[in-house]
Copies of this chain bind each other. A is one copy, B any other.
């Protein structure tokens, strides 16, 4: 069920000059080195990337990735975001932007020529 499609923008992949994500096979690469993510981390990342450029409220993330109601107060999301940033090093902070008291936003990098695909 991890790999079933539930979201709004089912693009099969994301790619910029540093980061590439193959949503079909669940393969993420940072500067062409494969990075591995746990399920929750991956879900979170996908959620963010599929809404690239948009601010996503914490509540929305908690609901969509965790299924939590909006009442629950937990630090889990923060911890996961932290892990995500770390695994996207050294670009973590650049990609995952904090929006104070609201949530966060995936800030996409420069698009890359698709012809260069190996």
Contacts and interface: CB of A to CB of B under 8 A. Distances in A.
Given A25-B54, A53-B25, A100-B39, A3 B2 contact: yes
Nearest to A38: B100
Main secondary structure of the interface of A (DSSP, over half): loop
A33 interface: no
What's the number of copies of this chain in the assembled complex?
A: 2
Given A25-B53, A26-B55, A39-B101, A1 B4 contact: yes
A1 B1 contact: no
Contacts of A118: none
Interface residues of A, number: 18
Nearest to A24: B4
B102 A2 contact: yes
A5 interface: yes
A102 to B, nearest CB: 6
Interface of A: 1-6, 24-26, 38-39, 53-55, 99-102
